[in-house]
Amino acid sequence: MRVVDRRSKVTRRIVLRGGAMAVPGLAAGLAIVPGAAWAQAARNLAPATLTTLARAARDIYPHDHIADAYYITAVSGYDSGTPEIRHLVTEGCTLLDAEAQKRHGTPYLLVANETDRVAILTAIEETAFFGKLRSDLVVSLYNQKPLWAKFGYEGSSADKGGYINRGFNDIDWVS
Amino acid sequence: MAQFDLNDDSVVCIVGSGAGGGTLGNELAQKGIKVVILEAGGRYEFTDFINDEWDSFTQLAWKDMRTTSGSWRVHKDFPNLPAWIVKAVGGSTTHWAGASLRFQEHEFKTRTTYGELPGANLLDWPITLAELEPYYAKAEYKMGVTSTNGIPRLPGNNNFKVLQAGATKIGYKEVHTGNMAINSQPRDDRDSCQQIGFCFQGCKSGAKWSTLMAEIPKGEATGRLEVRPGSMATHIEHDASGKVTGVVYVDADGKTQRQKARIVAVAGNSLESPRLLLNSASPKFPDGLANSSGQVGRNYMRHMTGSVYGVFDRPVHMYRGTTMAGIVRDEAALNTKRGFVGGYELETLSLGLPFLAAFLDPGAWGRSFTAGLDDYPNMAGLWIVGEDMPRETNRVTLDPAVKDGNGMPVASVHFDDHDNDVKMRAHAYQQGSAIYQAVGATRVFQTPPYPSTHNLGTNRMSANAKDGVVNKFGQTHDVKNLFVSDGSQFTSGAACNPTLTIVSLAIRQAETMQGMMGRGEI
């Protein structure tokens, strides 16, 4: 069977291509960590808000084989969102932090254990903020073309002649 | 190419260019009759189609506002997208997967066969399988349906091979690559299938039959068919005698126009067709055109659907090749021993990663969900197409508050599953899961229904005027020069994809219409 090469080809260009922000130079900065350089480039949102959004994005749709850069790209569009959207996500992150402070005495971003962060997300699952973030991520995360190969999805096919000679019926474990 | 005057009242004006309207338009043009088709959407040729799920959705889907209510899960997951259908020349034949199956004899006689079911508004069709068979044959020939007319079936892809192996293992007998309106060899000036996938996004090789590729160009070549894209019908007008006189529409430039017509045929799919009739209410017809029965918009059916995705420990690559690559038909046969009436088909289905993320389990998040997507290459998928029960309360109405950009009330869709639908879905989930487990699935997803692709029944056929909206020819009971030409005519939905039947009815309707015109009846 012809299988898809799922190895990572991710660099910072992913964010530059997909995101709405100007991201400063180094790919090493593309991690979801407090004080991340990429978040400092935000024009409208507080850097901590963007970092928290990226952390929440990763916790909502966790894929361990996917680099932080994709989650950062997925939420970066909020920086250029309408004032209403920016208000919604800012308030949402405040809520996440408040819940984290109450339970663990730290902001959401610094809650070390994923299970604990998921419990916080579950607690706010019914809010408009969570609903908006989760449903936006379905497109802003999974519709990033550079991500598709990492899930073994090959994308467009007509431009490659379809699959008639590229394995449409090459399965070798059923008969 | 023909261009008819707005005041030419000798034309047949058809609203919609999909399976019903596009076919009817070509058939009439071939018979020497002048036709204007008003199509709300734009015109995209097959080379314009996009192999990208969201980009294609943006290009082709009907995204105008609609509202929903009821206990169906689509209302919760996709409150303003009750249906996944197309707004473009060719209608939903650009999007359909190509499955072309005939109704079974008993499926035209559901009231007689199933008896009276509480909460269901079952009714026999005013036509029989025998009456429709010659038209099914014409439709199959026209559409080049595989396994008819000596046309070989398509080869099975990986997704089909998994389905076939599992289905055979649990004892199913009727398992094959389907009767498909997709060329398995070049035919009718169209290429053969290149196993591209993306059948839902418009076939880029032209192998799949659509009215865009096949009917409309042929009709246009006669010089008697004009298709006007970007034309959104808002009212059908009538004279003092109650005969319809033409269609008011908003053109591509936003200007209101009025196409006069000898006959009007409504073919805007089962949400828009009743919307147009209801919005055409007048002092003479206060409840909407052709609605003396009160049945316009009622008995909305969407098929009992759902999907099953199996996850395996080895690759499948379900997205390679035709989307609907094969079928299991055993559960479609008449069998009342399963605790429900009606039957269902299991057909392969695949989604790309972006749509699978949206549809696999709408609203779900967390590791249980993402683990499924992590195994995307190892998934196989099938879709359930079962007969759902017509219910008077499942209906399309004009939304009392929400209007579109032209000031026309949007369609509001109410739907509740009948108990029979719920029982049938549970059975189909169980059988679909068993198929994949029989060949080693390590996990199965039982995926809830998507926005409806098969929208049926909202202007149904009936022998008696009080039970439905149109007669056995799709002619409205109330207005003799007003016809319905799409799936909204269906009295019941049967356990099969509706397009072949819509096309067959349109061929038959064109013949009837020509006869009536020749005899001066309309």
Predicted confidence (pLDDT) per residue in B174-224, tens digit = 999 999 999 999 999 999 999 999 999 999 999 999 999 999 999 999 999
- Kindly indicate the confidence band of residue A21, based on its pLDDT and cuts at 50, 70 and 90: very low
Q: What is residue B193's DSSP assignment?
A: P
d(CA A64, CA B371): 10
Q: Which residues pair with B69 in a beta bridge?
A: B414
Element spanning B413, H or E:
strand B409-414
pLDDT for the residue B43:
98
Which of B193, B320, B355, B450 is best to mutate for the A interface (most A CBs within 10 A)?
B320
The 3-state DSSP composition of chain A as helix, strand, coil percent (nearest 5) reads 55, 0, 45
Token digits of residue B403: 């209007």
Burial class from Cβ neighbours inside 10 Å (0-12, 13-18, 19+) for residue B465 reads middle
Per-residue pLDDT tens digits for B10-67:
999 999 999 999 999 999 999 999 999 999 999 999 999 999 999 999 999 999 999 9
Query: How large is the average pLDDT for residues B480-509?
Result: 98
- pLDDT above 60 for B261: yes
For residue A166, give the amino acid letter. R
Distance in angstroms (rounded) separating the CA atoms of residues B352 and B51: 10
pTM: 0.97
From chain A, the residues in CB contact with B315 under 8 A are 1, 3, 152, 171
What's the ipTM? 0.95
Q: Are B441 and B312 spatial neighbours (Cβ–Cβ below 8 Å)?
A: yes
Token readout for B338 is 């399963």
Per the DSSP assignment, residues forming a β-bridge with B470 are: B461, B476
Sequence-ordered alpha helix ranges (H) in B380-469: 419-437
Contact A63 B373 (CB under 8 A): yes
pLDDT band at A82 (very low <50, low <70, confident <90, very high): very high
The angle formed by the CA atoms of residues B83, B86 and B87, to the nearest 5 degrees, is 120
Q: Is A1 within 8 Å of B193 when comparing Cβ atoms?
A: no
Rounded to the nearest 5 percent, the helix, strand and coil shares of chain B are 30, 20, 50
Each residue of B32-42: pLDDT tens digit? 999 999 999 99
Amino acid, res. A63: H
pLDDT number for residue B62: 97
Q: Which residue has the tokens 């970092």?
A: A51
Average pLDDT, rounded, for chain B: 98
| Neighbour order of strands in the sheet with B304-311 | B175-176, B327-328, B344-348, B379-386, B304-311, B443-447
Mean pLDDT of B231-250: 98
* DSSP β-bridge partners for residue B304: B386
Q: Is B153 on the interface with A (CB under 8 A)?
A: no
Instruction: Say how far residue B381 (Cα) sits from the centre of its chain.
Output: 21
Q: Read off the pLDDT of each residue in B254-269 and give the average, rounded to a whole number.
A: 98
The mean pLDDT value for B130-144 works out to: 98
Q: Which of A21-25, B265-269, B512-516 has the lowest mean pLDDT?
A: A21-25
Structure tokens at B169: 């293992």
pLDDT of residue A29: 60
pLDDT for the residue B325: 98
Task: Give residue A175's pLDDT band: very low, low, confident or very high (50, 70, 90).
Answer: confident
| List of chain A residues whose C-beta atoms are within 8 Å of the C-beta of residue B54 | 139, 143
b/e sequence B113-126, b meaning 16+ C-beta within 10 Å: bbeebeebbbbbbb
Report how far residue B31's alpha carbon sits from residue B291's, in angstroms, rounded to the nearest whole number: 30
Best CA proximity match to B31, nearest among B512, B520, B519: B512
Please report the pLDDT score of residue A30 as a whole number: 87
Contacting residues for B398 by C-beta, under 8 A, at least 6 apart? B275, B278, B279, B409, B410, B411, B412
Q: Which residues of B touch A163 (CB under 8 A)?
A: 157, 194-197, 320-321
Smallest CA–CA separation between B167 and chain A, in Å? Answer: 12
**pLDDT tens for each residue of B321-378:** 999 999 999 999 999 899 999 999 999 999 999 999 999 999 999 999 999 999 999 9
User: What's the burial of B189, exposed, middle or buried (CB within 10 Å: 0-12/13-18/19+)?
Assistant: exposed
3-class secondary structure, B484: strand
The yes-or-no verdict on residue A20 having pLDDT over 50 is no
Distance to chain B for A119, nearest Cα, Å? 11
Burial class (CB in 10 A: 0-12, 13-18, 19+), A115: exposed
Other C-beta atoms lying within 10 Å of the C-beta of residue A95: 17
Question: Which of B444, B443, B467 has its CA nearest to residue B457?
Answer: B467
**Full DSSP string of A66-135:** S-HHHHHHHHHGGGGS-HHHHHHHHHHHHHHHHHHHHHHSS-GGG---HHHHHHHHHHTTTSHHHHHHHH
**Residue A8's pLDDT is what?**
59
Work out the minimum CA distance from B54 to partner chain A, whole angstroms: 8
Are A62 and B367 in contact (CB < 8 Å)?
Answer: yes
- The pLDDT of residue A74 is 97
**CA distance linking residue B300 with residue B120, whole number of Å:** 11
Predicted local distance difference test score (pLDDT) of residue B492: 98
- Residue of A159, A161, A163 with shortest CB distance to B197: A163
> pLDDT digits over B138-165, tens only?
999 999 999 999 999 999 999 999 999 9
Q: What's residue A22's pLDDT?
A: 44
